[in-house]
Amino acid sequence: MDFLPKKRRSIMAVDDDIINQMTLEAILSVNYDFTAVSSGPEALAQLPNQSVDLILLDINMPEMNGFEVLAALQANEATKSIPVIILTGDSDPETEVQAIQAGAFDFVHKPFIPTLILRRIERTLELKSLQHHMQQEIDQQTAIAKEQLASTRRLFRQMVETLADTIDAKDKYTNGHSRRVADYAREIARRAGKSEAYQNAVYYMARLHDIGKLGIPSSLINKKGRLTDEEYAAMQQHTIIGGDILAHVKEMPELLCASRHHHERYDGTGYPDGLSGTAILEKVRIIAVADVYDAMTSKRSYRDGLPQAEVRQEMLKARGKQLDPYFTDIMLQMIDEDSDYQLREETV
């Protein structure tokens, strides 16, 4: 049986050091189509005429530094979706945080370790492929005739559950988080008198609310102890990354809202967009209540889960400030009925 050959991925390295270019070519040319350019302007001029799957970008270059090139890539509709891995000889953690905040997917330190850079590239391309195939599958399924709609819905649910479990598995301290949040959110919606379709929608939105963590390094997610201010700022980027991933799912735009806005606050002091009150989608306000409850009752690297009495007091403090007061009241009712954490046990 004949099989079509697998298309080789294309990688562009932007680095003004010829030795670095030659080193990268030696490492990558066996498995990838490799191109090297020596400056940011050269890369920006060449990209419109070349199909590139991933960019390796040096920081310290003449004319334009790596962060300036990255900003130009992000501002161009034709190049903003190309994943970028920053190349740096700087061991300062602030540089890595800045790279993530600027839109880079990952970073690799010089001198290059072949196995490490190959793995980082493979992981980046896997995520982009997942995003592409998710959209491709949804586009294909929505074109199927009406009589196959039920099968399409089952496939969608399976995809969401599988992807959500993958997200949860990345965080060893809160494994199962999205499933619990989804169950709590659906119960809040049920008690609020919402329709079954509404309850199902809020469930699947909650399952994918943390999808952006796929773009955050595991070392940051699983760090023991509290995050520094710089690390916390980098972690906040998961809302933007998640929104960018789910922006491609045109058939259910509310998925994007759940991922991007679940850390908005009712009083307008949240992130990333500073939304307040009813400007935050109602389903997202429900998810935010469920998310805060699970965060407080989950064990973290620096503390155990809080007792229900303390959780209740914290929820009261957040009522009308961080959280929607109406849905917070429903959560408080659930807490009062569940002093032994039975609801949490049922979601595990």
Burial 249-287 (b: 16+ CB within 10 A, else e): beebebbbbbbbbbbbbbeeebbebebeeeebbbbbbbb
pLDDT at 97: 83
β strands within 17-114, DSSP E: 33-37, 54-58, 84-88, 106-109
Statement to judge: residues 311 and 275 lie in one domain: yes
Q: Compute the residue count for the chain.
A: 348
pLDDT at 36: 95
Confidence of residue 162 (pLDDT cuts 50, 70, 90): confident
pLDDT tops 70 at residue 90? yes
From 127, 156, 181, the end of a domain falls on: 127
Segment 92-115 shows an average pLDDT of 84
Measured CA to CA, the distance from residue 145 to residue 293 in angstroms comes to: 41
Confidence of residue 134 (pLDDT cuts 50, 70, 90): confident
pLDDT at 301: 63
What's the CATH code of the domain at 312? Answer: 1.10.3210.10
- Which range in 95-104, 159-168, 275-284 is most confidently predicted, on average pLDDT? 275-284
Statement to judge: residues 303 and 162 lie in one domain: yes
Quote the mean pLDDT of the chain.
85
What phi and psi, each to the nearest 5 degrees, are found at residue 111?
-70, 155
Q: The domain containing residue 178 runs over which residues?
A: 144-347
| Structure tokens belonging to residue 137 | 């599958």
Statement to judge: residues 230 and 338 lie in one domain: yes
Q: Is residue 304 part of a domain?
A: yes
Of the listed ranges 30-44, 94-108, 148-162, the least confidently predicted one is 148-162
pLDDT at 28: 93
The rounded percent of the chain whose pLDDT value lies above 70 is: 86
| Structure tokens belonging to residue 303 | 């503390």
CA angle 226, 229, 235 (to 5 degrees): 75
Statement to judge: residues 158 and 200 lie in one domain: yes
Confidence of residue 13 (pLDDT cuts 50, 70, 90): very high
- Whether the CB-CB separation of 35 and 50 falls below 8 Å is answered with yes
β strands within the chain, DSSP E: 10-14, 33-37, 54-58, 84-88, 106-109
Query: Burial of 342 by CB count in 10 Å (0-12 exposed, 13-18 middle, 19+ buried)?
Result: exposed
pLDDT at 2: 47
pLDDT at 101: 85
Measured CA to CA, the distance from residue 341 to residue 325 in angstroms comes to: 22
Q: How far is CA 47 from the centre of its chain?
A: 26
Statement to judge: residues 78 and 172 lie in one domain: no
Segment 250-265 shows an average pLDDT of 90
Q: Is residue 137 part of a domain?
A: no
Report pTM.
0.56
Count CA within 13 A, CB hemisphere, residue 13. Answer: 25
pLDDT in tens, 261-298: 999 999 999 999 999 999 999 999 999 999 999 989 88
Statement to judge: residues 84 and 220 lie in one domain: no
pLDDT in tens, 187-208: 999 999 999 999 999 999 999 9
pLDDT tops 90 at residue 21? yes
What phi and psi, each to the nearest 5 degrees, are found at residue 10?
-110, 130
Statement to judge: residues 117 and 158 lie in one domain: no
pLDDT tops 80 at residue 92? no
Query: Burial of 317 by CB count in 10 Å (0-12 exposed, 13-18 middle, 19+ buried)?
Result: exposed
Segment 7-32 shows an average pLDDT of 92
Q: Report the domain count for the chain.
A: 2
Q: Is residue 132 part of a domain?
A: no
